[in-house]
Structure 1
Amino acid sequence: MRNIIIVGQGAIGLLWYHHILQMINNHGDYNKARLHLLPSKRTDSTYPSAKPRSNKTSTNQVTISYDQYSFTDHNALVHQGKINYAQTEDIEQADLIIFCVKAFQISLALSNIASKLKNNIDIVLAHNGMGTLSELSQDVIKHQNIYALLTTHGCLRSAPFTVTHTGVGSTDIGLLSGVPNLAQQESLTKLLNAALPQVTSHQEINQKQWLKLAINCVINPLTAINDISNGEINNAEYSSTILILLEEVVAVADAEKVNLDLADLKIIVKNVAQATAKNSSSMRCDITAQRMSEIDYINGYIHRLGIKYKIATPENTKMWQAVSALS
């Protein structure tokens, strides 16, 4: 796995870019690997080969250009590094592409480069919510190995190409679509672990996806709608709403043949909110910045499955509609 591309210059994209770049520079097993960044936004008509303009921006007394990034690690140490932008030949030679973009950007971002990709490469989708796999073309699904990556690392983007690692977490990865190849999966997991541990590979990633979805169905919309930090959802005034949201998620998951325990979910949501008490959820950040949110792939996903299985999901539907109105 010598040619790696990160798609997306947001918080999670630069988190992985920085750690993989450090791994290449410091880890003997990977010193021949090549890493490139593919911006998620068009910069001119030659996208995806285009390179962002080189205007300089100053933040936190650190002046960087769009040829560099600034990364503050969890020990408050500031690192600066060079950004190697992906050109067409890099895309054509890619062995691993990690998409660190919003759920609603996945399909278009992948379709823009799909015709240039070799067959049987590893494509990793790192986003909140579920439902993106069904939006991909059958040609992509037929010829590529597609993985889901779920992470609990906290990372905040404060300015273009400037991010801070706000909380150390863990990562889960598993095959969503493709031909299972144990050696290839082990190689992928080993590489990611060398860059940013702890990474755990799962044969059945679906269960982990649903667990994260349940957490997101509570924390994301409640913090976004009420403009509160994560920890505040543990206030008594939200307890009944949280219970109903989780009851609906459990019912829909059961229809999808996924077993979620309501009592366990209540404890997990409470603990996650407490552990990230001062954090602002990604959805709250999106709403505050007047950006499009991933609500369609979180509570909206539960809403659509509720219709499919004729299961009432009024509270999740309410969250979906409320955040959609704010986006």
Structure 2
Amino acid sequence: MVNNKQMTSRVDNIVVVGQGAMGLLWYHHLSQDQILNSASVTVNIKNDVTLLASNQDLLSKNNLRTSSYQFTSYQQASPKSYLLTYSQIADIESADIILLCLKSFHIASKIESIAKYISPHCIVILAHNGIGTFEAVAKLLPSQQVILAMLTTHGSLRISPLTITHTGLGQSDIGLLSGELSYLQQEQLTSKLNSALPQVTFHQDIVKKQWLKLAINCVINPITALNNIDNGKVNDDNFTEQIKILLTEIIEVSQAENIDLAFTDLQAMVHKVALATESNCSSMRSDVLAGRSTEVDYINGYIHRLGKKNNVATPENTRLWQQVLNLKVSASS
């Protein structure tokens, strides 16, 4: 017997939350893919990709209808202008997917503000640096809500408000944090995202992937922010011992959380990422230089909190966490 609910499940109505570099990157590719796909559709099915921005309540009705954004494709010299469709309450209510591309410290408050409009059948995807937002989000949504994590290595740079450049091709990994998706639904979701901005892979164990990325972020982000250096400088010999200490602490905490990480693997990954992005400015360094809040509470701060919870000492991660917080205070004073 065919499961009609599964066969008719849709992933066409999408709300992207966040007008930053990553939010606009996904909005652009999803909305352009929707336009391309609609050319071959003969039945009149309402497909929508809209953007929920933090400042749209301040816009006039005319600006809401006529807004545009500037997007520069990867390795292209000049930007092009595209129409921007802002999300309304009806879009949130009908959303099949809500993709939150926000700083980690904004995730829970944004979910809280729109939770009453989110359908129980909607797929909620959390795309941010670090770990530690899921628990707060899960408390705000029904227990059966499908919540996924997304990790991406695409490079996107916000030049100015509503102006971004796709600076580097990468890949995205998604996987379940809670709820259930059939194999067919996993395939539908992955195909939708993959056709917009490849390569997207669905993982049965996304938590392990989250920890691998967390370990890399715990090294590259604070070292580059505190020393005001590009990513590649992390591979300099004078940081070797510090990296060893950071990774050793992370592995000890991960073991207490039943996550199996290997030191040599993490060391090689840090080296590889720093080398591949050697001329890049890390997100944490960018935030510090701009006087913005960083996500260090969900990176080294997350290791610090789990260390306390499991009675595992994390002096180096704790020290860097506190030093980056002090940098933010200094930048704003």
Q: TM-score, length-normalised on structure 2?
A: 0.90
CA separation of 1:278 and 1:114: change in aligned 2, threshold 3 A: same
- Is 1:37 aligned to 2:38, yes or no? no
- Alignment of 1:254 onto 2:268: no
Residue 19 of structure 2 is aligned to residue 5 of structure 1:
no
Q: Which amino acid in 1 is paired with 2:75?
A: N
Q: What is the CA deviation profile of residues 159-192 of structure 1, one whole-angstrom value per residue up to 9, with x for unaligned ones?
A: 0011111110000000101123222221111100
1:184 aligns with 2:185: yes
In 2, Cα distance between the equivalents of 1:241 and 1:52?
53
Q: CA deviation at 1:41?
A: 4.2
Q: What is the rounded CA distance, in whole Å, between the counterparts of 1:273 and 1:310 in structure 2?
A: 31
Helix, strand or coil at the partner of 2:294: coil
Distance across 2 between alignment mates of 1:135 and 1:208: 20
Cα offset, 1:305, TM superposition: 0.5
Is the contact made by 1:43 and 1:52 (CA closer than 8 Å) also made in structure 2? no
Equivalent position SS for 1:105: helix
AA in 2 matched with 1:73? S
- Secondary structure (helix, strand or coil) at the match of 1:155 reads strand
Q: Is the 8 A contact 1:66 1:161 kept in 2?
A: no
Q: Secondary structure at the match of 1:176?
A: strand
Aligned residue number for residue 26 of structure 1: 36
For 2:76 and 2:283, the matched residues in 1 are separated by 21
Identity of aligned residues (%): 48
Structure 1 residue runs of 5 or longer lacking an equivalent are 45-49, 56-64
Hey, what's the Cα distance between the residues in 1 that align with 2:61 and 2:217?
32
1:92 Cα deviation after fit: 1.1
SS for the counterpart of 2:297 is helix
Q: Which residue is 1:47 aligned to?
A: none
Name the SS of the counterpart of 2:285 in structure 1: helix
Structure 1 pair 25/286, CA: closer, same or farther in 2 (3 Å)?
same
Deviates more, 1:256-265 or 1:132-141: 132-141
Work out the number of aligned pairs and report it: 313
Kept in 1, the 8 Å contact 2:144–2:178? The answer is no
Distance in 2 between residues matched to 1:254 and 1:309, nearest whole Å: 10
Structural mapping, 1:164-313, within 5 Å: 164-313=165-314
Give the deviation of 1:84 after TM superposition. 0.2
Distance verdict in 2 for CA 1:300–1:222, change over 3 Å: same
RMSD between superposed Cα atoms in Å: 1.9
* Conservation of the 8 A alpha-carbon contact between 1:6 and 1:36: yes
Distance change in 2, residues 1:53/1:240 (3 Å): farther
Secondary structure at 1:321's aligned position in 2? helix
* Alignment match, 2:7: none
Residue 36 of structure 1 aligns with an amino acid whose one-letter code is: T
CA distance, structure 2, for counterparts of residue 109 and residue 143 of structure 1:
19
CA distance in structure 1 between the aligned counterparts of 2:245 and 2:309, rounded to whole angstroms: 19
Pairwise CA distance, 1:52: 8.9
* Structure 2 residue aligned with 1:61: none
- The match for 1:14 is 24
Paired residue type of 2:27: Y
CA distance in 2, matches of 1:307, 1:247: 16
Q: What one-letter code is carried by the residue in structure 1 that aligns with 2:151?
A: L
